[in-house]
């Protein structure tokens, strides 16, 4: 942002850098005052890894500040010239920048525009130094939509955090950590985590897409370094490092906090001290880490943050975390769980038989129990326990699980207790059964519920996978659609009443379109589950062969051949019709996915434009969605047609 000039301080006889506010913004008095105020605040930061600001001035229509001249290139030029950097250099630069961020965050200064161009590499010492602290805030505080159009008021799209991309007004230091994670990713891979042809698409990618792991793009990266970078890139701020000091400590020690430790909210920074001067010195906050257990290297993808809220009888229940899901699905745990299922089932019969019948059954039970105990001891040595086997969160007590198990058993014989168990399952997102492949889903947002309404807040949207197995080839499609729908509802909830009143049908249209995507995926699953059908070519070949063998003199063979031909031709019609239905359903599924993404993109554009922005594009997409949903109504009978085939 702005133009930088190299100048000479005639009084102190030293080289300095002069940064001037762009002319298209300098004529605005409110922008000038905000720029001066933020620059004055940034000038109070005194840290070895922050470029010092000497003075802030305003003359005529020019607003500028004078800072130290750093001989060397910015990090952006270094990456352009060298490509992927050495992991040791990346670790050092990330640690130095995180130290600078911790110092600033401790003083209630958020950078908001961390990117390679704002990180200077001193030619003499190789030290990384951060510049432009607080300047982005001088622009983002404005409500003028014209500032957003310049591309500066929202920061640099390629490095913006999801909360910045969504236009959230309240962000904290973890937003800077996300941007630093993008910088670290670029240093390690030589490329950005996301590539998009324009700014809106880039914002959508930051909001909804998961970047490819750095280890999959570049070989030879230390595991702890790659994990640190990927944790910075978590969509949910609560899943990142709690503060910059935790990141710096992790980079120094190689110990990466677990998701449970990182999920603790960062404490609010203290109030800005107006008396703080340049001599305040550097006094970083102590580490807030509570656990240094290393996260499994390839943790499976957990449900979206918007789906992580769980309820039990109206109160907060123990919620599985990303780390819980990773432990539950570890290969050792899955292997033991598969062996435990037949052990429980068979011994439920053998033990009563041994008590009331022959004692010979106890011999098999004892040896089987010993074998299972040996297997469990290996599991224990690997760092797992009964909570992982029984799919229970880490903070669940054994007595709680036992009490619920007893209630479940009593429900088999007590209708009142059975209703209580059902109510508990409805109110709380359970962890799934012991041998269930995936956790059960969350309750669906009721049809017609508005984003931000009481219903939508008390009933978090479903992942959309409650009706199909994760093994379904369409599970990823439905999950991505659920993510897009959740993002639309979240953006709507953050709009003002006036802005939301301009687009009243978006919430219902998005939810209806998502329901159609689920239906189409379900229909395709039913079509695919019909089993292997002979191809049209094979049937045609068999029909041709039988027709060539026609012999009117052989009455018995001719009658059998006619029946076989009729059967094959009927089967051919079914195969052709089945193929047509599948292609049609798949095409409609892709169209619905595209429409849902377009709706999310148009909503993001509408939100970025501000209160005075037009809603034309969003309205047109919404009307198109409503038309498509109406046209797809006839598909409700598709399942019956498929079963009839």
Under DSSP, the state recorded for 453 is S
Phi, psi of 21 (to 5 degrees): -65, 135
Q: Measuring CA to CA, which residue among 601, 578, 587, 600 is closest to residue 517?
A: 587
Residues ≥6 apart with Cβ < 8 Å to 233: 178, 181, 182, 185, 193, 211
Under DSSP, the state recorded for 305 is G
Query: What whole-number distance in Å separates Cα of residue 163 and Cα of residue 441?
Result: 25
Query: What whole-number distance in Å separates Cα of residue 111 and Cα of residue 177?
Result: 10
Tally the residues of the chain.
645
How many CB atoms lie under 10 A from the CB of residue 380?
11
Catalytic residue among 113, 176, 323, 484: 113
Query: What whole-number distance in Å separates Cα of residue 219 and Cα of residue 236?
Result: 27
Residues ≥6 apart with Cβ < 8 Å to 532: none
SS3 content of the chain, % helix, strand, coil (to 5): 55, 5, 35
Per the annotation, the verdict on 113 as an active-site residue is yes
**Strand 119-121 to strand 128-130: parallel, antiparallel, or no bridges (unpaired)?**
antiparallel
19, 116, 128, 371 from 74: Cα distances, Å: 15, 7, 9, 62
Collapse the DSSP code of 494 into the 3-class scheme (helix H, G, I; strand E, B; otherwise coil) and give the result.
Answer: helix
Query: What whole-number distance in Å separates Cα of residue 266 and Cα of residue 250?
Result: 16
161 close to 206: Cβ distance less than 8 angstroms: yes
C-alpha of 135 from chain center: 29
How many CB atoms lie under 10 A from the CB of residue 149?
14
Angle of CA points 48, 241, 115, to nearest 5°: 50
Active site residues: 113
């Amino acid at each position: 942002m702005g133009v930088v000039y190299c100048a000479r301080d005639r009084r102190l006889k030293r080289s300095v850098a002069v940064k001037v506010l762009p002319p298209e913004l300098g004529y605005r008095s409110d922008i000038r005052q905000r720029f001066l105020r933020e620059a004055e605040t940034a000038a109070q930061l005194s840290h070895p890894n922050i470029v010092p600001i000497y003075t802030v001035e305003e003359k005529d229509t020019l607003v500028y500040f004078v800072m130290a001249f750093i001989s060397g290139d910015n990090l952006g030029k270094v990456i352009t010239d060298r490509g992927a950097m050495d992991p040791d250099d990346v670790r050092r630069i990330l640690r130095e920048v995180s130290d600078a961020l911790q110092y600033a965050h401790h003083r209630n200064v958020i950078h908001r525009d961390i990117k390679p161009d704002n990180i200077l590499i001193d030619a003499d010492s190789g030290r990384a130094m951060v510049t432009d602290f607080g300047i982005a805030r001088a622009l983002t505080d404005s409500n003028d939509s014209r500032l957003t159009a310049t591309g500066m008021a929202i920061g640099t799209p390629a490095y913006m955090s999801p909360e910045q991309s969504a236009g959230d007004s309240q962000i904290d230091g973890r937003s800077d950590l996300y941007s630093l994670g993008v910088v670290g990713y670029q240093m390690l891979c030589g490329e950005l985590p996301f590539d998009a042809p324009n700014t809106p698409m880039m914002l959508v990618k930051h909001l909804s897409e998961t970047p490819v792991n750095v280890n999959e793009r570049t070989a030879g990266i230390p595991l702890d370094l790659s994990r640190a970078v990927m944790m910075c890139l978590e969509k949910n701020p609560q899943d990142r490092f709690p503060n910059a000091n935790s990141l710096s400590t992790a980079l120094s020690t190689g110990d990466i906090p677990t998701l449970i430790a990182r999920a603790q909210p960062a404490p609010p920074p203290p109030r800005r001290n107006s008396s703080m001067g340049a001599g305040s010195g550097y006094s970083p906050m102590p580490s807030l880490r509570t656990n240094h257990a290393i996260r499994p290297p390839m943790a499976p993808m957990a449900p979206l943050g918007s789906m992580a809220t769980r309820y039990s009888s109206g109160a907060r229940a123990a919620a599985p975390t990303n780390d819980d899901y990773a432990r539950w699905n570890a290969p050792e745990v899955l292997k033991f769980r598969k062996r435990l299922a037949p052990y429980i089932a068979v011994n439920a019969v053998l033990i009563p038989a041994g008590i009331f019948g022959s004692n010979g059954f106890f011999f098999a039970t004892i040896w089987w129990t010993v074998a299972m105990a040996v297997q469990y001891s290996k599991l224990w040595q690997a760092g797992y326990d009964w909570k992982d086997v029984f799919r229970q969160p880490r903070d669940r007590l054994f007595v709680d699980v036992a009490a619920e198990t007893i209630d479940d058993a009593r429900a088999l014989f007590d209708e009142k207790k059975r209703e209580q168990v059902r109510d508990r399952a409805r109110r709380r997102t359970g962890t799934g059964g012991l041998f269930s492949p995936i956790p059960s889903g969350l309750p669906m947002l009721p049809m017609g519920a508005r984003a931000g309404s009481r219903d939508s807040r008390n009933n978090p949207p479903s992942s959309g996978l409650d009706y199909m197995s994760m093994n379904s080839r369409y599970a990823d499609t439905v999950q991505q659609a659920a993510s897009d729908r959740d993002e639309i509802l979240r953006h709507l909830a953050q709009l003002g009443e006036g802005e939301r009143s301009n687009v009243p049908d978006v919430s219902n249209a998005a939810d209806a379109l998502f329901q159609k995507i689920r239906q189409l995926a379900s229909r395709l699953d039913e079509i695919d589950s019909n089993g292997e059908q002979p191809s049209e070519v094979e049937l045609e070949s068999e029909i041709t062969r039988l027709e060539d063998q026609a012999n009117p003199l052989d009455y018995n063979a001719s009658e059998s051949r006619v029946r076989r031909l009729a059967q094959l031709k009927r089967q051919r019609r079914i195969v052709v019709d089945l193929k047509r239905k599948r292609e049609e359903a798949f095409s409609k599924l892709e169209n619905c996915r595209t429409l849902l993404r377009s709706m999310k993109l148009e909503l993001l554009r509408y939100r970025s434009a501000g209160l005075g922005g037009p809603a034309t594009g969003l309205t047109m997409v919404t009307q198109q969605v409503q038309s498509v949903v109406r046209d797809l109504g006839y598909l409700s009978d598709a399942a019956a047609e498929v079963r009839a085939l």
